[in-house]
Structure 1
């Protein structure tokens, strides 16, 4: 299939993903049409199919790229010597990484229900890998007697849910600096798991 005259795949492809990301985050996946995405990018609706087979593939790709980039960034953190330092590092990383990507975070959590079962399974496996990193920290801390946690899986999900709350209310230039917010959340997380 011929590409639209004047289009460049290395430019148009990312623009399509960026437009879809913004529209899905603003209106929800189900409410956005391929025609709306095309209009946002400034191409004919049929031209989108040169870059993606369908809207489902576009949603999956956005989520998959987000999770892959998250896992890669987390893996690049400096190793820590103990569970408490590792947990502190996780808290700071999670808040700062996700605050820079509000649309990606919104879609990653709110649009899972719109994935096909196969795509859902793949994204869920990547999410589980990230959650398992935190759960391993909590298990290590429990073994070392630093953390008092009855169920590390529930604690993992509770900590992530607490940290995700920052994305809904924090605004740069508000009453608290990002450093102060991060410290406050670290204090809450530390107290919630400490023995």
Structure 2
């Protein structure tokens, strides 16, 4: 199928994704139509199907990309060595990564219910993979004798929930810088798992 004259897939495709993410985060997936996304992007509704087969695929692609980027960036940054250093790095990484992507994080948590079963299973596997990265750090810390955690899996999920909560209140122009917030949260995380 030929593209509309004057359209630019390298520009329009990312704009479709950015617009859909923003609208899903502000209004909810169920309340947003493909026609509304097209209108915000400035293309005809039918033109969206050059970039995605349907709204469900668009949601799934946004969520999958977010999780794949999260895992890849952590794997590239994860320090080698002791569990304490790894846990501090994870704490700071999670806050930094997610505060730059507040809409993606919101959609990834709040719109899980709108995924079709096969898509949900993929996202759930990716989420578990990320949780397992933290669980492994906690288990390593228990083995090293620096952490006292009875249930590393539950502790990992609790810590991720706490760290993700920064997105709900942190503002760039607020009283505390992101670096200060990271330090405060690292202190809380450290105390929560300390042996």
| Length-normalised TM-score, structure 1 | 0.97
Distance 1:78-1:117 versus aligned 2 partners, 3 A rule: closer
Matched, 1:63 2:63: yes
Q: Kindly state the Cα deviation for residue 78 of structure 1 after the two structures are TM-superposed.
A: 4.9
Q: State the superposition RMSD in angstroms.
A: 0.9
Matches within 5 A, 1:64-143: 64-143=64-143
Per the alignment, residue 51 of structure 2 pairs with 51
1-side partners of 2:171 and 2:11: how far apart? Answer: 31
Q: Kindly state the Cα deviation for residue 11 of structure 1 after the two structures are TM-superposed.
A: 1.4
Aligned partners of 2:78 and 2:86 also within 8 Å:
no
How many residues in Structure 1 have an aligned counterpart in Structure 2?
195
Partner deviation per Cα, 1:62-113 (whole Å, 9 max, x = no partner): 0111111111111111523200000000000000010100011001111111
2-side partners of 1:78 and 1:120: how far apart? Answer: 27
Stretches (4+) displaced over 3 A: none
2-side partners of 1:94 and 1:112: how far apart? Answer: 20
Could you list the runs of 5+ residues in structure 1 that have no partner in the other structure?
none
1-side partners of 2:116 and 2:169: how far apart? Answer: 31
Could you list the runs of 5+ residues in structure 2 that have no partner in the other structure?
none
2-side partners of 1:127 and 1:78: how far apart? Answer: 17
